[in-house]
């Protein structure tokens, strides 16, 4: 495995999992007032396009990393909407 592939995999892993801490904070604190739903929507559209790009390129790493990110994004998206409606503040 050459350096470029290693850097690409590491970059995919970090960006794909970057939303996870926000999701965990959301579940822990049940507060979402300051989170931008627009950000989550734009990011979701981008991630779906990255999956299409991975399919066109037949690149499993891009597909898997971004499919995982879409799952985390969708969960964060719906929990954000829920806690914006049902939060104490």
Q: Least separation, in Å, of the C-beta of 79 and a second copy?
A: 11
C-beta of 45 vs 74, nearer to a second copy:
45
Span 22-51, contacts to a second copy by CB under 8 A: 22, 24-26, 29, 31-36, 38-39, 42-43, 45-47, 49-50
CA 87 to chain centre: 23
Map tokens 């995999």 to a residue.
Answer: 9
8 A C-beta contact, residue 74 and residue 21: no
SS3 of 31-51: CCCCCCHHHHHHHHHHHHHHH
SS3 label, residue 15: helix
Q: Is residue 78 a contact point for a second copy (CB under 8 A)?
A: no
| Residues at the interface with a second copy (CB under 8 A) | 3-4, 7-8, 10-22, 24-26, 29, 31-36, 38-39, 42-43, 45-47, 49-50, 52-53, 56-57, 89
């Amino acid at each position: 495995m050459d350096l470029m592939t290693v850097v690409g995999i590491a970059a995919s892993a970090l960006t794909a999992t970057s939303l996870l801490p926000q999701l965990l904070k959301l579940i822990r604190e049940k507060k979402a007032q300051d989170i931008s739903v627009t950000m989550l929507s734009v990011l979701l559209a981008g991630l779906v396009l990255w999956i299409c790009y991975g399919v066109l390129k037949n690149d499993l790493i891009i597909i898997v990393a971004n499919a995982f990110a879409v799952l985390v994004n969708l969960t964060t998206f719906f929990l954000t909407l829920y806690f914006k409606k049902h939060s104490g503040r």
